[in-house]
Structure 1
Amino acid sequence: MSFPRRTHAATIAAAAVIAAAVTGCSQSTYDERMSFLRKVANRGVDTYKLLYSQESRIDKARCERAFEGNGVSADAPADMATGSRTPAWQAQIKEFFVDSCVSGKPKPVPGDLPDPSASPQASTTASPVSSPMRPAATATSTTKQ
């Protein structure tokens, strides 16, 4: 009559082993994935610099081949609780590498502030600033007579 107890104990032990295995393969955090995208973007820029130094043609197709050949995504963090990577995440990794490789500048990661010097709205000329305490300067002035 101890046979059913053995089966029950074995089932519990097997469940514990499976739970431990699943817990070991966990989903990475948002910050970890964004950090990885920054790393991938920088590797794309490094590839751009290498191709440029070799006077190679730099285009999307060339950068895609470089991505496929250098194993960039091999150490990508998982975006699934099972420890795997979704096709959308893999595509995003490739996009960050290729875009950075083609442009020579790291593709900005969501949430990062853009480089103000790269903005077409950046200005080096000063302009009057208006505030509730200090109105903007005007071209005409009024005087009492």
Structure 2
Amino acid sequence: MKLRTVATAVALAAVLGATGCAASYEERMRHLDEVSAKGIAYRGQLYEQDTEPSREACTIGYDLLKNTPPYDRDGPDSISKAWSDQVKEAYIKSCMTGELKPKPDVDGVDAVTSVPITAPPDPVATSPTP
């Protein structure tokens, strides 16, 4: 009886492992931060080799990384192309700019991420002078 329970548990674990479970939003954003940091580190390696960080050079760096992003959905095909492309974009943008890009822009690698205003402007400093 005990052997049957163990066999059932092993089979269930194999099925669950094969189908995959989606990572949480926070886990995926953390992964983007980690990949971006690796892109920045590769940028430093490129400069050490007297190589300008270009899109081509950074793409080579990403390919050498052999990154496997966490699952973004459940099921057998658990990593969507869109998610995989976002991870690659975060690496390449960070490699090219030297800045952490945890949330990729929808417009691609050449997009400029706007800097959010954290405080409202000072009305005295921004008012027109008479």
TM-fit CA distance, 1:57: 2.3
Q: How does 1:1-145 map to 2 (within 5 A)?
A: 17=11, 20-24=13-17, 25-71=20-66, 73-74=67-68, 76-82=69-75, 84-109=78-103, 128=124
| Residues 56 and 82 of structure 1, relative CA distance in 2, 3 Å threshold | same
Give the Cα–Cα distance (whole angstroms) in 2 for the partners of residues 42 and 33 of structure 1.
14
Judge conservation of contact 1:80–1:86 (CA < 8 Å) in 2.
yes
Judge conservation of contact 1:37–1:93 (CA < 8 Å) in 2.
yes
**Count of aligned pairs:** 110
The sequence identity of aligned pairs, in percent, is 29
Runs of 4 or more, structure 1, over 4 Å off, are none
Root mean square deviation of aligned Cα: 3.5
TM-score by length of 1: 0.60
- Structure showing greater Rg: 1
Judge conservation of contact 1:22–1:82 (CA < 8 Å) in 2.
no
| Unmatched runs of 5 consecutive residues or more in structure 2 | 1-6, 105-113
| Unmatched runs of 5 consecutive residues or more in structure 1 | 1-12, 111-117, 130-135, 141-145
| Residues 67 and 93 of structure 1, relative CA distance in 2, 3 Å threshold | same
User: The residue matched to 1:39 in structure 2 has which SS?
Assistant: helix
User: The residue matched to 1:128 in structure 2 has which SS?
Assistant: helix
TM-score by length of 2: 0.66
